[in-house]
Amino acid sequence: MSGGGEKPELIINGKRLDGRGATDLRSLKIEPNVIKNAAGSAYVEWGNNKIIAAVHGPKEALPKHTSDPEKAVIKCRYMMAPFSSLEGHGRTGPNRRSIEISKVTKEVFENVVMLELFPGTEIDIYVEVLQGDGGTRAAGITAAAVAMALSGIPMTDVPYAVSAGKIGETVVLDLNMIEDNYSDADMPVAVKPLTNETLLLQMDGSFTKEQFKEAMEMILESGKKIHEIQAAAIKRPYQEIIERYER
Amino acid sequence: MQRIVIPGEKISDTPVRMHNTLINNGKTYSTIVGLYSDEKSTLIPLEGLWNPAYGDTAVGVIEEDRLNTYNVNLNSPYKGLLISKFVQEQLNKGDVVEASVKELDKTQTVVLMRPRKLSGGKIFSITPSKVPRVLGKGNNMLKELSASTKSSIIVGHNGVVWIKGGNMQLAMDAILRIQEEAHTTGLTDRIKEMLSKGN
């Protein structure tokens, strides 16, 4: 996604376009259990991103040839709504980009969900982007992790994802759409917070070795905050009922 | 003191072998959203799926009448199977049956035994992990429910509930309330109060 044309100045006096510093996250809000018909669901507002994630299953894998007698299979559909962005992503149904993001999201969850408990079944993850503003794959994974935990499917950890990038020679965290279009590097990373194992790492552009290290440190540091918000969102529906009776 | 844990949250510094946990480097981690009690060292799932075990009661709907078997929809990842030889009465597609689990075979099929046809009534489903709370200790909650609403109620471990007769609406409301508030204390008293008010 190259911006083309003249490069606008994205960092002025150490502040980014939306007033953030280099290591600041955009505001993140997670609403649990928004879809009644899904086993688990979550709605995420991450800056201007608005994303709904829902998890269905496990259920019998259909068509039959997709099933695995050893473990469950995960099927993921990431989709941008036709009205979600200025660039017309998703206006023509599944495309190269959405198929790619579906695949990487699926692979993140294949490494945390305990698939061997449900042989021959499928687990569906749906990520719908209502409004996109850069970093939707990271926000989608973060939302889907909350939805997966709420569905009751055993998993080893609740992963989170966030992107880091480079504007000029400055490493910055959590790029928005404009920064992403004109940045020199963009790297979404998904992490298992318990062990800090990397589940997803993609990169556009280039980092030097030192910049990459700096970016990873930023991601792991901000991840603590993201994971806290996820944990609070998962616990909230139960906490509310407990508080109603035990004051 | 009970606390809510999420997948990947550490519940103990020592390895404790129990359901829905994972032992890593000598420490125990939860794999589900659950209620963990430090003193009793129990992890009760708040959301979860049904693990079929021998003797579990299952309520299902006949989906297909095959030559020697009936396929039963159990509202779970597992298929239900009834062998016609052991069925006393004629069953048709759409009939509701109660049966107990004989085994979970290698193809993830729940083989059922001792079926009983349930005619009339209504079925609805709840989260399977909340079934023990609906039944109560020694089925006390269920006895209380059917005594005060005068309904016949059968709760399957797969989360499907069948009710017939009496004050069906009240029974249903009570069961759905138990599902919602299963992880709170003093639930039995609140349900008793609700039932006595409802009548």
In a domain, A5, yes or no: no
Q: Mind telling me how many Å the CA of B90 is from chain A's nearest CA?
A: 27
Range of the domain at B132: 122-198
| Interface membership of A232 toward B (CB under 8 Å) | no
List, in order, residues 6 or more apart from A4 with CB less than 8 Å away.
Answer: none
Enumerate the residues of chain A whose CB falls inside 8 A of the CB of residue B77.
57-60, 118, 121
Enumerate the residues of chain A whose CB falls inside 8 A of the CB of residue B133.
none
Residues A86, B114: Cα–Cα separation, whole Å: 61
Q: How many domains does chain A have?
A: 1
Answer yes or no: do B91 and B64 share one domain: yes
- CATH of residue A142's domain is 3.30.230.70
In a domain, A83, yes or no: yes
Strand order in the sheet with A121-131: A28-32, A40-46, A49-60, A121-131, A73-80
Per residue in B23-71, pLDDT tens? 988 999 999 999 898 888 888 888 888 888 898 899 999 998 888 899 9
- For B126, the closest chain A residue by CA position comes to A39
What six digits make up the tokens of B123?
Answer: 């079925």
What are the residues of chain B with a beta carbon less than 8 Å away from any beta carbon of chain A? Answer: 4, 6-9, 20, 22, 29, 31-33, 45-49, 77, 79, 107-108, 127, 129, 180-181, 183-186, 190
Count Cα neighbours of A13 within 13 Å in the Cβ-side half-sphere: 2
Residue among B33, B108, B180 minimizing CB distance to A234: B33
- For B30, the closest chain A residue by CA position comes to A156
Range of the domain at A114: 15-245
- For B28, the closest chain A residue by CA position comes to A156
Per residue in B121-130, pLDDT tens? 899 989 898 8
- Give the type of residue at B117: K
| Interface membership of A156 toward B (CB under 8 Å) | yes
Enumerate the residues of chain A whose CB falls inside 8 A of the CB of residue B127.
152
- CATH of residue B130's domain is 3.30.1370.10
| Domain finish residue from B118, B137, B154 | B118
Q: How many domains does chain B have?
A: 3
Contact call for residues B157 and B132 (beta carbons, < 8 A): no
- For B177, the closest chain A residue by CA position comes to A241
Per residue in A36-89, pLDDT tens? 889 999 999 999 999 999 999 888 888 989 999 889 999 999 999 888 887 766
pLDDT band, very low/low/confident/very high, at A165 (cuts 50, 70, 90): very high
| Domain finish residue from B90, B118, B146 | B118
Residues A12, A8: Cα–Cα separation, whole Å: 11
**Confidence (pTM):** 0.90
Flag whether pLDDT at A155 surpasses 50.
yes
- Give the type of residue at A88: G
Residues A91, A159: Cα–Cα separation, whole Å: 29
In a domain, A99, yes or no: yes
CA A235 from chain center: how many Å?
A: 19
CA distances to B55, B91, B118, B124, B147 from B161, in Å: 17, 19, 11, 5, 17
The torsion defined by the Cα of A88, A89, A90 and A96, in degrees rounded to 10, comes to 140
Predicted pLDDT at A1: 47
In a domain, B15, yes or no: yes
Percent of chain A with pLDDT over 90: 62
Enumerate the residues of chain A whose CB falls inside 8 A of the CB of residue B49.
58, 118, 152-153
Q: Mind telling me how many Å the CA of A230 is from chain B's nearest CA?
A: 10
Handedness of CA B125, B53, B77, A99 (dihedral sign): positive
Please, where are the H alpha helices in chain B?
A: 131-135, 140-149, 168-180, 187-198
- For B74, the closest chain A residue by CA position comes to A59
Flag whether pLDDT at A180 surpasses 90.
no
What is the DSSP-derived secondary structure letter of residue B84? G
Contact call for residues B19 and B34 (beta carbons, < 8 A): no
In a domain, A91, yes or no: yes
Flag whether pLDDT at A2 surpasses 70.
no
Interface pTM (ipTM) of the complex?
0.84
In a domain, A1, yes or no: no
Q: Is A170 helix (H, G, I), strand (E, B) or coil?
A: strand
Handedness of CA A129, A131, A137, A142 (dihedral sign): negative
Per residue in A86-128, pLDDT tens? 776 666 678 898 999 999 999 999 999 999 988 889 999 999 9
Enumerate the residues of chain B whose CB falls inside 8 A of the CB of residue A112.
7
Asked if the Cβ–Cβ distance from A234 to B9 is below 8 Å, we say: no
